[in-house]
Amino acid sequence: MKNNKQLFFTFFKIGLFTFGGGLAMLPFIKSEVVDKKKWITSEEMVDIIAIAESTPGVLAVNTSTYVGYKVGKFWGSFYATLGVILPSLFIIIIISLFLKDFLEIKLIKYAFLGIKAGVTILILKAAFTIFKNAPKNTFGYSLMIIAFIIGLFSIYPTIFLIISGGLLGVGSYIVSIIENTILIRKMKAYNFLPSNCIGGEK
């Protein structure tokens, strides 16, 4: 129950003080669950983002569900997910009651202008965090550049980028396995490795 309470209040705080959607939440999620609580690692965070963006649902909800399940199984995922959605639910209900009057307030208009600028910085920070923890190789750099160009000019739908990126990643993994296997067999043939080392296993 202690972990469940921590999960609930941690993600409630993230949902309450974050504007701009899931990508804008990523720096706060990383700060809370990776740096402070240490529930997951930076590498796991990148994997979670990839899975959350590739599956149906909101990124923040999918992320909270995964982290909650790792920490507290079913009830952990329940409380983490509940915590992250409640602030948005309450705020939307309140705003919907007087939406027209709310938008006519000049102070609110200027506040939203500032929030938009802040959200842009948060999204850029999230992109930098993902880039910093992503694999550093020629294939990874090439794929990121191609995806950026395609996304920038809206050449193909987002779903195409997701599916293509997944297929290219699997293809790269298979190619690396084949290359490693060939290299190990060559080294074995020249007596660089013990005879019981086959396919990379000793």
Amino acid in the structure at residue 51: I
| Token pair recorded at residue 115 | 């929030």
pLDDT (0 to 100) of residue 78: 92
Residues 38 and 102 occupy one common structural domain: yes
Q: pLDDT tens-digit profile of 153-193? A: 666 676 777 777 777 777 777 877 887 788 777 776 766 55
CB 22 within 8 A of CB 52: yes
Cα separation, 148 vs 141, in Å, equals 11
Give the pLDDT confidence score for residue 98 in this predicted structure.
Answer: 72
Same domain, 12 and 93: yes
Q: What six digits make up the tokens of 1? A: 């129950």
| CA-only gyration radius of the chain, Å | 22
At 36-77, the pLDDT tens digits run 888 888 888 888 877 877 777 778 888 888 888 888 889 988
Pair 129, 141 in one domain: no
What is the model's pLDDT at position 155? 65
Interval 130-153 mean pLDDT: 66
Statement to judge: residues 96 and 150 lie in one domain: no
